[in-house]
Structure 1
Amino acid sequence: MTASRVLAALLASVVATVGLAAAPVAAPSARAATEPASVVVAPDGGGVVRSGKDLGVTVVVTNTGTAALPSGLVSLAVDAAPAASTASLLTSIAPAVPLEALQGKLLRAHASVKALGAGDSTTVRLTEKYDDLSGILTAPSGARTLYVQYAAGPSGRAAKVFAQSAIVNMQGSKASVGLAAVIPLGAPPNGTGVVDAAKQEELVSPDGAWGIALRAAQADPQAAVALDPEVLASIRLAGDAAPPDVAGFLSTLRGLPNEFLRLPYADTDLTLARAAGAPSSLEPTSFAGVGLASTATDGPTPAPTATPAATPSTAADLTEWNWSDREVAWPVPGTTSGADLTALGSSSVLLSSNDLSDTATRRASGPLARIGSTDVLVADPTVSSLLATAGGTGVAADAALAELSGLLATSAVNGETSALLAAVARGTTAPHLDDVLRRLGDEPWVRPTTLAGLGSASDAVTVQLKAGTVQRSQVATAKALVAGERGVQELGKAVVAGAATVTAPNRLALLATLSTAWRQDDAGWRTAATAATTAFDGLLDEVALANGSDFNFIGNDGNLKIFVTNALSVPVRVVVHGSVSNGAVQFTDRTVQVTVPAKGRAPGILPFKSIRNGRTDLTLSLTTPDGTAIGTTLNRGATVRAGFDTIVAIGLLGALAVLLAIGVYRNVKRRRQPRAAAA
């Protein structure tokens, strides 16, 4: 194998992909697809060398080729000197390390590997004796690169693949680095803005997302919890119907000493909502008509609806919490532009360093920065990803923990920064995140730190923002959502009583559909957005002008009767507007207010005056009493028969005169007949 063949270690993909946390064995990197095998290496205990204890190493070998591989051998080697910087450590454990990096290193702790068929995988264990390690680790404290070689067949002629990890020796060192963590606790993707009771019970279970986040916060009281108010509102709306475990979860969460950052309701995707033209303050209007019972509502989904036992009922009460005084906006990485920073409406914003034109000065000073007048909390994307992956399961989690330990140790001994900020990505599956935070917190070279402990605003270093973007197709979809829901809010102005039962569930539906929880499922989001937009549009058609044939204006004066239908479950009051395209007819009053009962219809009367015979085009529309247009404008042709009533009246009078004349004639004739007979 030549030097151009790069080792197939998995850890680079662990750094890059949070989703690997759910996999028991990490998937090979893209480069590994060209190798006959892939190798994943994971030292025990996060790779930390303990006094007097041997170091165990798990190695997973997978045949990624199409041909069988003969039996072989795995061996390991350790760098004698610690990494000079976190950058050099990351370079040494990346898949692109050339094979020459192993030259001069002693391969040790061999273990046999059985023959592997195409696609087969096997796990082997290596043990490095502490006495042997202590002989190597006599140099200064820090993290060292651990190399593993897999050789299949005699002298590795069938395959020779390499992987790397890190081991840490901090015995006797007093160096340390601060580590602050942000743990998200949000609602799963949905279309209603409320999580039902059954789903709540699943979420608070030990394997549920809420239960995992709670344990992580308990493990690190210094960590900040980014809490979605939808979680609180959903539990409180359930009232007495909430499962006991859910009520216990809320009580335990309330008692935590952690700082709670208030996310927007449903953790709305702030930059997407802004790009779509949503109001700057996009929050629930109320929770009227919203609960956890299954009854019908005027909204895009059949749930939720009001329940008598749901208390408290106001938006403020349902989302009340011991929120931090710190206002922090947390936009989706890679989507923030300069114009967004002031529009987000928060004094601080949480960004990944990948979103910045970062500087060595900022990295050395810590996670605090400033862009213009906006304070920025800068999360380290590598540390954030490794923390999330280490909280997963299997070899990928163990490998990530070793790498994370190595980075923190290297940063500590080299004094690279005062502290690092890890923001666990939303939607991360990390059932053992609490164990990782607890383990790191027990290390003397890691100082769990609060956000306040990162420093004051005076410590912030000025940086530049890399202009982020939101996909145009996403913006177009979101614009349709926002426009549809805006129409529903305008329709609510026509409701005589109970408008919130129409508007509130639909505002929640908008917030839920704009949630960042959908960002990991773009196809699912587009389906949900289409359904919500269709429902909004359908609701707007619930109050409409009755459709019919062309109208006739007969006579000089008259009244045009127009029916308004209302399919909503609440009464509405609307104004009917009428206009014509020419002077053949005139409305003496072009508007009329109509009150329409729930699930009913009512007429509106527009008085008119005919001017001349002919054709005209009639335009009818609806507005709320304050003039906001609703529904669809109705255009109809009309025939004008001016003076037709006069003609009819003359005809009737003529007919009456004829009848009178006939009557008189017959009466006279009848009187003359007896006289003639007498003569």
Structure 2
Amino acid sequence: MVAESDSAHRPALPAAACTTVRPALRTQRHRRLLPIWALLVGFLTLASLVFAPELPFTARAEPASSTAAIATTAADSVEVTVSPTVTPELSPGQDLPLTVTIHNNTAAAIPIGRVDVYLAQLALTTRAALDSWLRPDADANSGDQLMSVPTAGIIPAGASTNIAITVPAGSVGLTDQNAWGARGIAAIYIADDEVQAEGRGTFVWSQGSAITPVGLASILPITTPEDATGLITTKALESYTSSAGLLSRQLDMAIDAPTATIAIDPQIIASIRVLGSAAPASAVAWLDRLAGASNDIFPLGYADADIALQAQAGATTLLAPTSFEPAIDPSLFVVPTATPSPDTTLNPSDVPTITPPTSTETTPSPTPPLPPTVGPGETVVPTASELLAWNYTSSTIGWPASGQVARTDLDVFAASGLTTTILSSDNVQQSDVFTPNTAVSLPRGLGLVSDSTLSAAIRAAAEATTEDAWRKNVAEAASLLAIVSAENPNAARTLLVTFDRGSPTSATRVGQTLAALNSAPWSNAASLQSALDSTPASTVSFHEKAIDSDRVALARSLLQREGAMAEFATILADPLLATAPARLELLALLDTTWTAQSSAWQEQVRASLAASFDLMHAVTVTTRGPIIVVGSKVDLRITLNNALDQAVTVRTDIVPSNGRLVVGETLETTIQPNSAQAVSVPLSAAVGNGDVVLRVTLFTLNGTPLGQPAPIEVSVRADWEGVGASIFAILVVGFFGFGIWRNIVRRRRDRASGAPVASGQLPPPAAEPNV
């Protein structure tokens, strides 16, 4: 709704400007009404003519109906935009130059017609009144007609035409007696006596009265499109930092924008530095430009990971990269040797030692600083903290995704060192009619509330592709600021606007938009620090909002996988080779820009969980049953397989399903990369024969199981050892007994037949004769 009638806001127009009657508009309005209402209106009108006393003529135009003016808002309709041509500000005695653009989005040409220009009858003194004027209801009043201008010619299908209209100062009807502030204008296009479309805009009436300007702080995020790796590839960096690349355009906008604060994704800085001497020249130059920017800068979460999603998924502190070592090629971090001049010979003792600068200047450099004792030719691999280091204006600001912060999230932010949280208007409740300061007191720390309505208008202006669209949105933003300034002139306030986190490619007018707003008497550019230092609003309270439960559940699965991966990595010779990439991938999957791509994000998360499951099950037991155990004590050989690219050390635990077997002590085994290792497990038969299932489980050295137990079926035949010994003894006795028996039988047979003694035996001596 518009404000109540006040003669100080809008005096009556001259009669010559107000006597125009628009039968076509009335006809169109009546045509849109339902038959029953048309009948009722006709009856009442007739009654008033019959029974009402005769009234003197009033020099007042019949108000226009927005419903009658707007044919449709579909993509195939006729659209009209109207905006101040030069500046949103109009002073007493000045003509009002307007640009009206007619867009014919239909498939047919539209004939020559006219454009009627109207001024809202009442000043727009509240934010609600401004919104109602620009986005009217079906029966909204279009105001008082100022003038009518014919169109130049037929407008072909799919074409647009601009009409320059100058409303004389006298026709505007505003004087220095009217209160300053936002005013509404409307342009109605009529052809063939039919209203084709209506467009609405605003300007600010400023008669030089004392104004309390509104501070306008802005934040521009510099991010890259979502991915699932946690490091930007060399090819992508080269593309993003080219002259027309995404990062170059974003930095151009930020550097050109007055006092705009940059919120940068640290992933960009680390991805350039981690490449060492192989970093693209354009990326290094881009980092140099960022280092030289005068803007305030604060970091987003790494990979712009949503800090609210982390907190609601169960993180007690916010996550950060642990190491970049697996992604670093040491050969790219060799300190260059100084090149000798042509007329001198460089002795080893003449090589200068690289020392840190003695100046207190903290301007960041594209590459991390070297230790003071490092000389040319040496390799210096930077740490994670060195790759991420930057001279931030503040590192205690958190910026979660818009409108999705719960109360418990604030505790996690505070525990992570973030004392200031940037919130959207959806996350607070306002109890006063006046627009509050951006600063608010939170249950934990300080909040900066982004004005969502003002941000939307400024974003639309920054992304406008035509001059008329840009002027219209700038005028809306300027009118909003004027309303805030005028609604409570005794209180200086600072508002915060934020730009899109989704890296829009069309936001090419950021600097132009902010410069236009900051040139207005009722608006001043403000730094982020001034927003932080402003008095917290006392009429604003925190209103918690939770993220969608399905999204939180998937994020919780990622965090649980993180813990499982950390335990699994203890078996590796170098755990960082697994945990560091996993942490980067986790942060990348929590990127705020995934919010708008729910299906694609779910697929990426499930693919990541499946890949990590395979990784954590790459060490397996390959021995399968059945196995027959004969004897009371045996050594069972079990084969373990390692499909990883590095050695692992595991503990093997074997549990029999019953008491027929007793297993020896747990074994620790080191398995080389991509190989198998057999381990011997001592087994003892306890009671009787039968079948046993050995459940073989691999554990980390900390006692965490690696996957499910592997069953091995074993058939125990412990009494076969005694039976076998008895049979062997019987066979031995039988063999020797048979040999003895055969010798005895043969001798008896030989004696009985008088045969000579067998070879090798001497005959008995002959008896001597008697003498």
Output the CA distance in 1 between the equivalents of 2:31 and 2:76.
12
Aligned identity (percent) is 26
Give the aligned partner of residue 98 of structure 1. Answer: 139
Secondary structure at the counterpart of residue 474 of structure 2: helix
1:161 corresponds to 2:188: no
For 1:444 and 1:674, locate their aligned partners in 2 and report how far apart those are by CA, in whole Å. Answer: 146
1:337 equivalenced with 2:409 (yes/no)? no
* 1:677 corresponding residue in structure 2: 755
8 Å CA contact 2:116–2:146 kept in 1: the answer is no
Match of 1:641 in 2: 717
The 5-angstrom pairing of residues 555-574 of structure 1 reads 555-574=631-650
Q: How does 1:603-618 map to 2 (within 5 A)?
A: 603-611=678-686, 612-618=688-694
Distance 1:434 1:312 in 2: 39
CA distance in 1, matches of 2:84, 2:329: 48
Counterparts of 1:309 and 1:263, CA distance in 2: 34
* Alpha-carbon distance in structure 2 between the residues aligned to 1:84 and 1:283: 47
Q: Which one-letter code corresponds to 1:144 in the other structure? A: R
Give 2:250's aligned residue. Answer: 213
Seen in structure 2, the aligned counterparts of structure 1 residues 43 and 668 have a Cα distance that, compared at 3 Å, is farther
Counterpart residue type for residue 260 of structure 1: I
Match 1:114 to one of 149, 154, 159: 154
- 1:5-49 deviations in whole A, cap 9, x for unaligned? 79xxxxxxxxxxxxxxxxxxxxxx997249953333444456345
The equivalent position to 1:85 in structure 2, one of 123, 126, 131, is 126
Instruction: Name 2:432's counterpart in structure 1.
Output: 360
Structure 2 match to 1:418:
493
Q: CA deviation at 1:133?
A: 7.5
The code of the aligned residue for 1:507 comes to R
Distance change (3 Å), C-alpha of 1:614 and 1:181: same
Contact 2:258 2:511 in 1 (8 A): no
Partners of 1:366 and 1:508 in 2: CA distance: 37
Q: Give the Å deviation of 1:428.
A: 4.2
Please tell me the residue identity of whatever aligns with 2:483: T
8 Å CA contact retained: 1:49, 1:55 = no
Separation of aligned partners in 2, 1:342 and 1:3: 59
Matched AA of 1:105: Q
- Alignment-derived partner of residue 386 in structure 1: 457
Distance in 2 (CA, whole Å) between partners of 1:607 and 1:67 is 91
Aligned-residue offset at 1:134: 7.3
Which whole-Å CA distance do the structure 2 matches of 1:332 and 1:3 have between them? 47
Contact 1:182 1:424 in 2 (8 A): yes
Q: How far is 1:316 from its partner?
A: 0.5
Q: Note if 1:55 corresponds to 2:97.
A: yes
CA displacement, residues 63-118 of structure 1 (integer Å, 9 cap, x when unaligned)? 46x8875443333223476422333222211142634333x33234443463565x
**2 CA distance for matches of 1:312 and 1:441?**
46
Q: Contact conserved, 1:178 with 1:449, CA < 8 A, in 2?
A: yes
Which ranges in structure 1 are unaligned for 5 or more consecutive residues?
Answer: 7-28, 294-307
8 A contact 1:179–1:420 mirrored in 2: yes
Give the structure with higher Rg (CA): 2
1:172 aligned residue: 208
Give the equivalent residue in structure 2 for 1:124.
Answer: 162
Give 1:595 shift: 0.4
Task: Provide the C-alpha distance between the structure 1 equivalents of 2:289 and 2:408, rounded to a whole number of angstroms.
Answer: 39
Q: Does 1:592 align with 2:667?
A: yes
* Offset from partner CA, 1:195-236 (integer Å, 9 cap, x none): 112212322345433223322332245322222111111111
- 1:454 paired residue among 506, 510, 531: 531
State the partner residue of 1:143: 182
Deviation (angstroms), 1:273 = 2.5
State the distance in 2 between where 1:309 and 1:193 align.
Answer: 29
Contact conserved, 1:367 with 1:420, CA < 8 A, in 2? Answer: yes
Q: Distance in 2 between matches of 1:133 and 1:627?
A: 87
Alignment partner of 1:2: what SS? helix
CA pair 552-436 structure 1, distance change in 2 beyond 3 A = farther
Q: What does residue 767 of structure 2 align with?
A: none
Q: CA deviation at 1:449?
A: 0.9
Deviation for aligned residue 1:328:
1.9
Kindly indicate whether the alpha-carbon contact (under 8 Å) linking 1:196 and 1:292 is maintained by their aligned counterparts in 2: no
Out of 216, 233, 238, the position equivalent to 2:270 is 233
Contact 1:75/1:111, CA 8 A, preserved across alignment: no
**Whole-angstrom distance in 1 between the partners of 2:609 and 2:379:** 28
Candidates 444, 448, 453, aligned match of 1:373 = 444
2:72–2:197 contact (8 Å) kept in structure 1: no
Instruction: Mark the runs of 5 or more structure 2 residues left unpaired by the alignment.
Output: 1-27, 34-69, 331-376, 758-771
Q: State the partner residue of 1:406.
A: 479
| C-alpha contact (below 8 Å) 2:234/2:280 kept by paired residues | yes
Distance 1:446 1:669 in 2: 134
Distance in 1, Cα, partners of 2:273 & 2:135? 48
> Structure 1 CA distance, aligned partners of 2:198 and 2:379?
60
Inter-partner Cα distance in structure 2 for 1:279 and 1:545: 36
Counterpart residue type for residue 145 of structure 2: K
- In the alignment, what sits opposite 1:542? 618
User: 2:361 corresponds to which residue?
Assistant: none
Q: Is the 8 A contact 1:237 1:311 kept in 2?
A: no
Which moved further from structure 2: 506-515 or 253-262?
Answer: 253-262
Question: Is the 2:228–2:589 contact (alpha carbons within 8 Å) kept by the matching residues of 1?
Answer: yes
Q: Is the 8 A contact 1:593 1:604 kept in 2?
A: no
CA distance in 1, matches of 2:412, 2:550: 22
- TM superposition shift of 1:616: 2.7
Residue 194 (structure 1) aligned to one of 231, 243, 258: 231
Q: What amino acid does structure 1 have at the position aligned with 2:99?
A: V
| Match in the other structure for 2:79 | 38
Distance 2:138 2:543 in 1: 29
8 Å CA contact 1:624, 1:630 repeated in 2: yes
> Residues 275-674 of structure 1: matches in 2 within 5 Å?
275-278=312-315, 280-291=317-328, 313-325=382-394, 327-345=396-414, 346-360=418-432, 364-395=435-466, 396-415=469-488, 418-429=493-504, 430-454=507-531, 456=533, 459-461=536-538, 463-496=540-573, 498-546=574-622, 548-589=624-665, 591-611=666-686, 612-662=688-738
Comparing 427-436 and 665-674, the one that deviates more: 665-674
Residue 579 of structure 1 deviates from its aligned partner by: 0.8
Q: Structure 1 77/581 Cα, relative in aligned 2: closer, same or farther at 3 Å?
A: same
After superposition, what is the alpha-carbon deviation per residue over 1:528-547, rounded to whole angstroms, capped at 9, x for unaligned? 22221221112112122225
What SS does the aligned partner of 1:425 have? coil
Would the alpha carbon gap of residues 581 and 144 (structure 1) be closer, same or farther in structure 2, given more than 3 Å must change? Answer: same
1:594 to partner: Cα distance: 0.8
- Relative distance call for 1:663 and 1:369 in structure 2 (3 A) is farther
Q: 1:418 to 1:653 in 2, by over 3 A?
A: same
Q: Which has the higher contact order (CA 8 A, sep 6+)?
A: 1
The question of whether the paired residues in 1 share the 8 Å contact of 2:113 and 2:150 is answered with no
2-side partners of 1:441 and 1:667: how far apart? 130
Q: Deviations over 1:134-163 (max 9, x none)?
A: 764654433221211122312x2xx44222
Is 2:290 the partner of 1:253? yes
For residue 2 of structure 1, what is the aligned residue in structure 2? 29
Are the equivalent residues in 2 in contact too, given 1:576–1:604 (CA < 8 A)?
no
SS in 2 for 1:100: coil
Compared CA separation, residues 574 and 535, structure 1 to 2 (3 A):
same
Aligned equivalents of 1:467 and 1:130: distance in 2?
51
Note the alpha carbon deviations across 1:426-482, whole angstroms, 9 max, x for none: 014112212222333333432111222125376342643333122222223323333
Count of aligned residue pairs for this structure pair: 633
